[in-house]
Amino acid sequence: MAVGTVLVTGGTGYIGSFTTLALLDNGYDVVIVDSLLNSSEAALDRIELICDKRPTFYQVDITDEAGLDNVFSKHPEIDSVIHFAALKAVGESGEIPLEYYRVNVGGSITLLRSMAKHNVPNIVFSSSATVYGDATRVPGMIPIPENCPIGPTNTYGHTKVMIETVITDHIEAERRKAKKAGKPFEQWNGALLRYFNPCGAHPTGIMGEDPQGVPYNLLPLLGKVATGERDKLLVFGDDYASKDGTAIRDYIHVLDLASGHLAALNYLREKKPGVKAWNLGSGRGSTVFEMINAFSKVVGRDLPYQVVDRRLGDVLDLTANPALANEELKWKTKLTLEDACADLWRWVENNPKGYRQDPPAELLEKLKASKAVKN
């Protein structure tokens, strides 16, 4: 008997696929909807290889209300949603803002409308630390707590703030409505998970990040430099007020991040808190140069980079204060930056074409052997 059934939007993407794996490993059934715009259906095969369970999959765009209605109608057992589906590149968001608002904000409203029609009350939302903007503008806000004033500096961050607001208004309205009608209302809940820089891959080397276009994030770009697919890494600015002039970010292993989503979902189901925001992060800030050095060490050689101008909307320091999630969700990061670099290198070295190739036989044998030991 499943613990519950969760719809994961964007579930074949990087964080979505790892969260699906965590849910399946912890007794949940999972239904995925994904447009496959920036992901691959092959992620489903990798999930199944690792945990011997396969999520149900529908190729549906988050803006397609009829498509979402169809999925909810076919699966009345769905009681919660974890919502990842979005466009997610900070730089690109400033170039095509209308598309970001259409997909991210419009898609979230479409999802919530469909959930309401089918009486699905719980949503865990994949928000972002970009909602805080430049936290150094407020004294005493680094590392960043959840009560840091909101103030995004780019379109992507603006979409996340809008979605947080829409979710909050929706959940509170549903609670008020049910209460007024004398019905149970505590079942309507939302988690807003603000996180920092996900990185790493599955330690088996069988599952990782596989962006379909040009990756925008530091570690996947470094991976492509290490495999020779790119000549060098572009470092956006070395004139920040940090120890080496490069921007500071809080990197979190994708396995830790996935377990944070599971912890938030369990908290909503058990504690029924209404709407709550939590930071998911390590609390450790690393500069871009520190990341380059850490990954170069794992690869075994220096990786070439070039410093260029700062990127529009980038800020100095996005380091989380995860104390609230540590305390309330009983969750904290377990894996280190070194773990993330080693896991990422194992992934890109063995899967230079990502999901557009079969997993190496040697890794499959190791996975088989580790399963045999467990059993």
Known catalytic residues are 156
Contacts of 50 (CB under 8 A, 6+ apart): 21, 202, 204, 206, 207, 367
Peptide bond just before 143 cis, omega within 30 deg: yes
Task: Work out the number of other CB atoms within 10 angstroms of the CB of residue 366.
Answer: 14
Amino acid letter, 353: K
- Write the secondary structure of 77-101 as one string of H (helix), E (strand) and C (coil): CEEEEEECCCCCCHHHHHHCHHHHH
Distance CA 333, CA 335 (A): 6
What angle do helix axes 42-51 and 14-25 make, rounded to 10 degrees?
A: 30
Distance CA 164, CA 275 (A): 9
Distance CA 358, CA 375 (A): 25
Query: Residue length, the chain?
Result: 375
**CA distances (Å), origin 298, targets 126, 149, 198, 231, 337:** 30, 38, 18, 18, 11
Handedness of CA 333, 336, 340, 342 (dihedral sign): negative
Contact yes or no for 20/51 (Cβ under 8 A)? no
The secondary structure of residue 1, as a DSSP letter, is -
The beta strand positions in the chain, using DSSP E, are: 5-9, 29-34, 56-59, 78-83, 122-126, 189-195, 197-199, 233-236, 248-249, 251-253, 275-280, 286-287, 305-308, 317-318
**Phi, psi of 309, rounded to the nearest 5 degrees:** -65, 155
